[in-house]
Structure 1
Protein backbone atom coordinates (compact mmCIF):
# COMPACT_ATOMS: atom_id res chain seq x y z
CA UNK A 1 0.00 0.00 0.00
CA UNK A 2 2.83 2.37 0.86
CA UNK A 3 4.40 1.95 -2.59
CA UNK A 4 1.07 2.66 -4.27
CA UNK A 5 0.51 5.79 -2.16
CA UNK A 6 4.07 6.98 -2.76
CA UNK A 7 3.85 6.39 -6.52
CA UNK A 8 0.49 8.19 -6.74
CA UNK A 9 1.93 11.12 -4.76
CA UNK A 10 4.99 11.26 -7.01
CA UNK A 11 2.87 11.15 -10.16
CA UNK A 12 0.68 13.98 -8.85
CA UNK A 13 3.79 16.02 -7.96
CA UNK A 14 5.18 15.46 -11.47
CA UNK A 15 1.90 16.73 -12.92
CA UNK A 16 2.14 19.78 -10.64
CA UNK A 17 5.73 20.38 -11.77
CA UNK A 18 4.76 20.13 -15.44
CA UNK A 19 1.93 22.61 -14.92
CA UNK A 20 4.28 25.02 -13.14
CA UNK A 21 6.82 24.69 -15.96
CA UNK A 22 4.13 25.46 -18.54
CA UNK A 23 3.01 28.44 -16.48
CA UNK A 24 6.58 29.77 -16.38
CA UNK A 25 6.82 29.49 -20.17
CA UNK A 26 3.40 31.15 -20.52
CA UNK A 27 4.41 34.05 -18.27
CA UNK A 28 7.71 34.54 -20.12
CA UNK A 29 5.98 34.58 -23.52
CA UNK A 30 3.34 36.96 -22.22
CA UNK A 31 5.90 39.36 -20.70
CA UNK A 32 7.96 39.38 -23.91
CA UNK A 33 4.80 39.90 -25.94
CA UNK A 34 3.69 42.76 -23.68
CA UNK A 35 7.12 44.40 -24.01
CA UNK A 36 7.17 44.01 -27.79
CA UNK A 37 3.65 45.35 -28.00
CA UNK A 38 4.72 48.45 -26.08
CA UNK A 39 7.71 48.94 -28.39
CA UNK A 40 5.59 48.42 -31.51
CA UNK A 41 3.13 51.02 -30.32
CA UNK A 42 5.97 53.30 -29.24
CA UNK A 43 9.18 54.24 -30.97
CA UNK A 44 9.21 51.32 -33.48
CA UNK A 45 5.74 52.41 -34.60
CA UNK A 46 6.98 55.94 -35.17
CA UNK A 47 10.20 54.89 -36.97
CA UNK A 48 8.85 51.90 -38.95
CA UNK A 49 5.07 52.11 -39.06
CA UNK A 50 4.73 49.40 -41.72
CA UNK A 51 6.72 46.84 -39.72
CA UNK A 52 4.90 47.83 -36.57
CA UNK A 53 1.47 47.43 -38.17
CA UNK A 54 2.47 44.09 -39.70
CA UNK A 55 3.73 42.70 -36.36
CA UNK A 56 0.69 43.97 -34.47
CA UNK A 57 -1.59 42.37 -37.10
CA UNK A 58 0.17 39.07 -36.41
CA UNK A 59 -1.01 39.38 -32.81
CA UNK A 60 2.25 40.29 -31.08
CA UNK A 61 1.32 41.13 -27.53
CA UNK A 62 0.58 39.62 -24.16
CA UNK A 63 -1.28 36.33 -23.95
CA UNK A 64 -4.95 37.08 -23.38
CA UNK A 65 -6.08 35.83 -19.96
CA UNK A 66 -2.62 34.84 -18.81
CA UNK A 67 -3.38 35.74 -15.20
CA UNK A 68 -6.52 33.56 -15.27
CA UNK A 69 -4.47 30.58 -16.45
CA UNK A 70 -1.78 31.28 -13.83
CA UNK A 71 -4.37 31.51 -11.08
CA UNK A 72 -5.97 28.17 -12.00
CA UNK A 73 -2.63 26.47 -12.67
CA UNK A 74 -1.00 27.53 -9.41
CA UNK A 75 -4.04 26.39 -7.45
CA UNK A 76 -3.73 22.96 -9.08
CA UNK A 77 0.04 22.84 -8.49
CA UNK A 78 -0.35 23.58 -4.78
CA UNK A 79 -2.78 20.71 -4.36
CA UNK A 80 -0.63 18.49 -6.61
CA UNK A 81 2.37 18.81 -4.29
CA UNK A 82 0.46 18.19 -1.05
CA UNK A 83 0.19 14.37 -1.36
CA UNK A 84 3.98 14.00 -1.66
CA UNK A 85 4.48 16.41 1.22
CA UNK A 86 2.07 14.39 3.37
CA UNK A 87 3.49 10.93 2.61
CA UNK A 88 7.09 12.08 3.04
CA UNK A 89 6.54 14.02 6.30
CA UNK A 90 7.55 17.18 4.46
CA UNK A 91 5.43 19.63 6.43
CA UNK A 92 7.29 22.17 8.53
CA UNK A 93 7.74 21.17 12.14
CA UNK A 94 9.38 22.59 15.23
CA UNK A 95 10.70 19.94 17.57
CA UNK A 96 12.67 21.99 20.06
CA UNK A 97 10.66 20.66 22.99
CA UNK A 98 9.92 17.18 21.71
CA UNK A 99 13.44 16.21 20.62
CA UNK A 100 14.37 15.14 24.16
CA UNK A 101 11.11 13.27 24.86
CA UNK A 102 10.98 9.47 24.79
CA UNK A 103 10.19 7.92 21.42
CA UNK A 104 6.89 6.53 22.72
CA UNK A 105 5.61 10.04 23.53
CA UNK A 106 6.85 11.34 20.17
CA UNK A 107 4.92 8.57 18.41
CA UNK A 108 1.73 9.55 20.24
CA UNK A 109 2.30 13.22 19.41
CA UNK A 110 2.92 12.35 15.75
CA UNK A 111 -0.26 10.26 15.72
CA UNK A 112 -2.23 13.23 17.08
CA UNK A 113 -0.70 15.56 14.49
CA UNK A 114 -1.42 13.18 11.63
CA UNK A 115 -5.01 12.57 12.77
CA UNK A 116 -5.56 16.34 12.86
CA UNK A 117 -3.94 16.64 9.41
CA UNK A 118 -6.24 13.92 8.07
CA UNK A 119 -9.34 15.62 9.48
CA UNK A 120 -8.32 19.02 8.10
CA UNK A 121 -7.33 17.67 4.67
CA UNK A 122 -10.54 15.66 4.34
CA UNK A 123 -12.46 18.80 5.29
CA UNK A 124 -10.57 20.86 2.69
CA UNK A 125 -11.31 18.28 -0.02
CA UNK A 126 -14.98 18.25 0.98
CA UNK A 127 -15.25 22.04 0.89
CA UNK A 128 -13.42 22.19 -2.43
CA UNK A 129 -15.90 19.66 -3.79
CA UNK A 130 -18.82 21.80 -2.57
CA UNK A 131 -17.21 24.89 -4.10
CA UNK A 132 -16.79 23.08 -7.41
CA UNK A 133 -20.45 22.06 -7.44
CA UNK A 134 -21.49 25.63 -6.61
CA UNK A 135 -19.39 27.12 -9.42
CA UNK A 136 -20.71 24.47 -11.80
CA UNK A 137 -24.36 25.06 -10.91
CA UNK A 138 -24.07 28.83 -11.34
CA UNK A 139 -22.10 28.52 -14.59
CA UNK A 140 -19.38 30.92 -13.39
CA UNK A 141 -16.68 31.60 -15.97
CA UNK A 142 -13.46 33.57 -16.01
CA UNK A 143 -13.61 37.15 -17.23
CA UNK A 144 -11.41 37.06 -20.31
CA UNK A 145 -11.13 33.45 -21.44
CA UNK A 146 -14.64 32.52 -20.37
CA UNK A 147 -13.66 29.01 -19.31
CA UNK A 148 -15.76 27.52 -16.50
CA UNK A 149 -14.25 28.20 -13.08
CA UNK A 150 -15.28 24.77 -11.86
CA UNK A 151 -12.60 23.25 -14.13
CA UNK A 152 -9.92 24.75 -11.89
CA UNK A 153 -11.77 23.48 -8.83
CA UNK A 154 -11.98 19.99 -10.34
CA UNK A 155 -8.26 19.95 -11.15
CA UNK A 156 -7.40 21.08 -7.62
CA UNK A 157 -9.86 18.58 -6.18
CA UNK A 158 -7.91 15.70 -7.71
CA UNK A 159 -4.88 16.64 -5.62
CA UNK A 160 -6.98 17.40 -2.54
CA UNK A 161 -8.70 14.00 -2.64
CA UNK A 162 -5.40 12.16 -3.07
CA UNK A 163 -3.95 14.17 -0.18
CA UNK A 164 -6.94 13.33 2.03
CA UNK A 165 -6.61 9.61 1.22
CA UNK A 166 -2.88 9.66 1.92
CA UNK A 167 -3.41 11.65 5.14
CA UNK A 168 -5.93 9.03 6.30
CA UNK A 169 -3.44 6.28 5.39
CA UNK A 170 -0.58 8.02 7.23
CA UNK A 171 -2.75 8.49 10.34
CA UNK A 172 -3.57 4.78 10.25
CA UNK A 173 0.11 3.87 9.97
CA UNK A 174 0.91 6.17 12.90
CA UNK A 175 -1.72 4.37 15.00
CA UNK A 176 -0.10 1.02 14.15
CA UNK A 177 3.29 2.48 15.06
CA UNK A 178 1.96 3.51 18.47
CA UNK A 179 0.53 0.04 19.08
CA UNK A 180 3.66 -1.84 17.95
CA UNK A 181 6.18 0.61 19.37
CA UNK A 182 8.18 0.71 16.14
CA UNK A 183 8.55 3.07 13.20
CA UNK A 184 6.98 2.08 9.89
CA UNK A 185 7.04 5.47 8.17
CA UNK A 186 9.90 7.79 8.81
CA UNK A 187 9.22 11.00 10.66
CA UNK A 188 12.16 12.65 8.91
CA UNK A 189 11.23 14.60 5.77
CA UNK A 190 11.89 12.79 2.53
CA UNK A 191 13.45 9.61 3.96
CA UNK A 192 10.72 7.28 2.66
CA UNK A 193 11.12 8.42 -0.92
Structure 2
Protein backbone atom coordinates (compact mmCIF):
# COMPACT_ATOMS: atom_id res chain seq x y z
CA UNK A 1 0.00 0.00 0.00
CA UNK A 2 1.34 3.37 -0.92
CA UNK A 3 1.93 6.22 1.49
CA UNK A 4 -1.14 8.14 0.30
CA UNK A 5 -3.41 5.21 1.09
CA UNK A 6 -3.31 6.07 4.76
CA UNK A 7 -4.84 9.50 4.29
CA UNK A 8 -8.44 10.59 4.25
CA UNK A 9 -11.46 10.14 6.48
CA UNK A 10 -11.84 6.38 5.95
CA UNK A 11 -8.21 5.70 6.80
CA UNK A 12 -8.42 7.99 9.82
CA UNK A 13 -11.57 6.28 11.12
CA UNK A 14 -10.10 2.82 10.52
CA UNK A 15 -6.87 3.76 12.29
CA UNK A 16 -8.83 5.15 15.27
CA UNK A 17 -10.87 1.96 15.44
CA UNK A 18 -7.70 -0.16 15.38
CA UNK A 19 -6.19 1.94 18.18
CA UNK A 20 -9.39 1.52 20.21
CA UNK A 21 -9.23 -2.23 19.57
CA UNK A 22 -5.64 -2.26 20.78
CA UNK A 23 -6.59 -0.38 23.94
CA UNK A 24 -9.43 -2.83 24.63
CA UNK A 25 -7.13 -5.80 24.03
CA UNK A 26 -4.53 -4.31 26.38
CA UNK A 27 -7.22 -3.80 29.02
CA UNK A 28 -8.35 -7.42 28.71
CA UNK A 29 -4.75 -8.62 29.02
CA UNK A 30 -4.27 -6.51 32.15
CA UNK A 31 -7.56 -7.79 33.58
CA UNK A 32 -6.46 -11.36 32.93
CA UNK A 33 -3.10 -10.78 34.64
CA UNK A 34 -4.78 -9.12 37.61
CA UNK A 35 -7.36 -11.90 37.91
CA UNK A 36 -4.73 -14.63 37.74
CA UNK A 37 -2.62 -12.80 40.33
CA UNK A 38 -5.62 -12.33 42.57
CA UNK A 39 -6.55 -16.00 42.19
CA UNK A 40 -2.99 -16.98 43.13
CA UNK A 41 -2.88 -14.62 46.13
CA UNK A 42 -6.41 -15.02 47.49
CA UNK A 43 -7.92 -18.03 45.67
CA UNK A 44 -10.55 -15.62 44.29
CA UNK A 45 -10.52 -14.43 40.67
CA UNK A 46 -12.03 -11.16 39.54
CA UNK A 47 -15.77 -11.77 39.41
CA UNK A 48 -16.89 -12.21 35.79
CA UNK A 49 -13.39 -11.95 34.35
CA UNK A 50 -14.13 -14.44 31.57
CA UNK A 51 -17.19 -12.43 30.50
CA UNK A 52 -15.23 -9.21 30.29
CA UNK A 53 -12.33 -10.87 28.47
CA UNK A 54 -14.60 -12.53 25.91
CA UNK A 55 -16.50 -9.29 25.24
CA UNK A 56 -13.30 -7.28 25.04
CA UNK A 57 -11.48 -9.76 22.83
CA UNK A 58 -14.35 -9.93 20.36
CA UNK A 59 -14.58 -6.17 20.13
CA UNK A 60 -10.80 -5.86 19.76
CA UNK A 61 -10.81 -8.25 16.80
CA UNK A 62 -13.46 -6.13 15.11
CA UNK A 63 -11.32 -3.08 15.80
CA UNK A 64 -8.46 -4.64 13.86
CA UNK A 65 -10.47 -6.21 11.05
CA UNK A 66 -11.26 -2.96 9.23
CA UNK A 67 -7.61 -1.92 9.41
CA UNK A 68 -6.48 -5.24 7.98
CA UNK A 69 -9.07 -4.93 5.23
CA UNK A 70 -8.03 -1.41 4.27
CA UNK A 71 -4.35 -2.34 4.27
CA UNK A 72 -5.11 -5.60 2.48
CA UNK A 73 -3.11 -7.52 5.05
CA UNK A 74 -5.70 -10.24 5.38
CA UNK A 75 -5.07 -13.70 3.99
CA UNK A 76 -4.58 -13.57 0.24
CA UNK A 77 -4.26 -16.66 -1.92
CA UNK A 78 -2.82 -15.80 -5.30
CA UNK A 79 -1.62 -19.21 -6.45
CA UNK A 80 -3.63 -19.03 -9.66
CA UNK A 81 -3.05 -15.38 -10.55
CA UNK A 82 0.68 -14.82 -10.11
CA UNK A 83 1.26 -15.20 -13.85
CA UNK A 84 -1.36 -12.60 -14.80
CA UNK A 85 -0.54 -8.94 -15.48
CA UNK A 86 -0.86 -6.66 -12.44
CA UNK A 87 -3.89 -4.74 -13.77
CA UNK A 88 -5.79 -7.99 -14.27
CA UNK A 89 -4.89 -9.18 -10.78
CA UNK A 90 -6.04 -5.81 -9.38
CA UNK A 91 -9.46 -6.23 -11.05
CA UNK A 92 -9.78 -9.77 -9.68
CA UNK A 93 -8.75 -8.57 -6.22
CA UNK A 94 -11.26 -5.72 -6.46
CA UNK A 95 -13.99 -8.22 -7.27
CA UNK A 96 -13.16 -10.28 -4.22
CA UNK A 97 -12.93 -7.15 -2.10
CA UNK A 98 -16.48 -6.29 -3.23
CA UNK A 99 -17.61 -9.74 -2.13
CA UNK A 100 -15.98 -9.12 1.26
CA UNK A 101 -17.72 -5.74 1.49
CA UNK A 102 -21.07 -7.41 0.80
CA UNK A 103 -20.43 -10.09 3.42
CA UNK A 104 -19.41 -7.44 5.97
CA UNK A 105 -22.56 -5.42 5.20
CA UNK A 106 -24.77 -8.46 5.73
CA UNK A 107 -22.99 -9.19 9.02
CA UNK A 108 -23.40 -5.56 10.11
CA UNK A 109 -27.09 -5.63 9.23
CA UNK A 110 -27.73 -8.90 11.08
CA UNK A 111 -25.72 -7.78 14.12
CA UNK A 112 -27.76 -4.57 14.15
CA UNK A 113 -30.92 -6.66 14.29
CA UNK A 114 -29.31 -8.81 16.98
CA UNK A 115 -28.46 -5.72 19.03
CA UNK A 116 -32.08 -4.58 18.88
CA UNK A 117 -33.26 -8.05 19.89
CA UNK A 118 -30.87 -8.31 22.85
CA UNK A 119 -31.94 -4.85 23.99
CA UNK A 120 -35.63 -5.76 23.70
CA UNK A 121 -35.16 -9.09 25.49
CA UNK A 122 -32.89 -7.68 28.19
CA UNK A 123 -30.18 -10.28 27.59
CA UNK A 124 -27.33 -10.02 30.08
CA UNK A 125 -24.12 -11.86 30.90
CA UNK A 126 -24.45 -14.74 33.35
CA UNK A 127 -22.17 -13.66 36.18
CA UNK A 128 -22.10 -9.85 36.15
CA UNK A 129 -25.51 -9.33 34.62
CA UNK A 130 -24.15 -6.80 32.11
CA UNK A 131 -26.47 -6.02 29.22
CA UNK A 132 -25.05 -7.37 25.97
CA UNK A 133 -26.88 -5.24 23.40
CA UNK A 134 -24.14 -2.62 23.34
CA UNK A 135 -21.43 -5.17 22.47
CA UNK A 136 -23.54 -6.61 19.66
CA UNK A 137 -24.24 -3.07 18.46
CA UNK A 138 -20.54 -2.23 18.48
CA UNK A 139 -19.97 -5.42 16.51
CA UNK A 140 -22.44 -4.17 13.91
CA UNK A 141 -20.57 -0.86 13.72
CA UNK A 142 -17.28 -2.74 13.41
CA UNK A 143 -18.53 -4.76 10.45
CA UNK A 144 -19.99 -1.63 8.86
CA UNK A 145 -16.52 -0.10 9.08
CA UNK A 146 -15.04 -3.27 7.54
CA UNK A 147 -17.46 -2.89 4.62
CA UNK A 148 -16.50 0.76 4.20
CA UNK A 149 -12.81 -0.14 4.29
CA UNK A 150 -13.37 -2.88 1.70
CA UNK A 151 -15.21 -0.47 -0.61
CA UNK A 152 -12.40 2.06 -0.20
CA UNK A 153 -9.79 -0.61 -0.99
CA UNK A 154 -11.85 -1.69 -4.02
CA UNK A 155 -11.77 1.84 -5.39
CA UNK A 156 -8.03 2.06 -4.88
CA UNK A 157 -7.51 -1.25 -6.69
CA UNK A 158 -9.65 -0.20 -9.64
CA UNK A 159 -7.82 3.14 -9.89
CA UNK A 160 -4.51 1.29 -9.99
CA UNK A 161 -3.31 2.82 -6.72
CA UNK A 162 -2.36 -0.57 -5.30
CA UNK A 163 -2.20 -4.13 -6.40
Other-structure match for 2:28: 23
1:9: which partner in 2?
Answer: 14
Deviations 1:87-128 (A, max 9, x none): 101111122221111123212211211111111111111111
Alignment gaps of 5+ in structure 1: 39-60, 178-182, 188-193
Native 8 Å contact 1:114 1:174 kept in 2: no
Q: Which entry has the higher C-alpha Rg, 1 or 2?
A: 1
In the alignment, what sits opposite 1:73? 56
Asked if structure 1 preserves the Cα contact closer than 8 Å seen for 2:107 and 2:140, the reply is: no
Tell me the alpha carbon deviations over residues 1-44 of structure 1, each in whole angstroms, 9 at most, x when there is no partner: 95211111111000000000010010001011111123xxxxxx
Partner of 2:115: 132
1:118/1:171 contact within 8 Å kept: no
Does residue 123 (structure 1) correspond to residue 128 (structure 2)? The answer is no
Within 5 A, what are the aligned runs for 1:3-152? 3-38=8-43, 61-152=44-135
Please give the alpha-carbon distance, in whole angstroms, between the structure 1 residues aligned to 2:30 and 2:87. Answer: 49
Partner Cα separation in structure 1 for residue 120 and residue 141 of structure 2: 19
Contact 2:114–2:136 (Cα < 8 Å) also in 1:
yes
Tell me how far apart the structure 1 counterparts of residues 89 and 125 of structure 2 sit (CA, whole Å). 47
Q: Which consecutive residues of structure 2, in runs of 5 or more, have no partner in the other structure?
A: none
The residue matched to 2:130 in structure 1 has which SS? coil
Aligned length: 158
Q: 1:154-169, aligned counterparts within 5 Å? A: 154-169=137-152
TM-score normalised according to structure 1 size: 0.76
| 8 Å Cα contact 2:97-2:154 kept in structure 1 | yes
Cα distance between partner residues in 1 of 2:84 and 2:157: 17
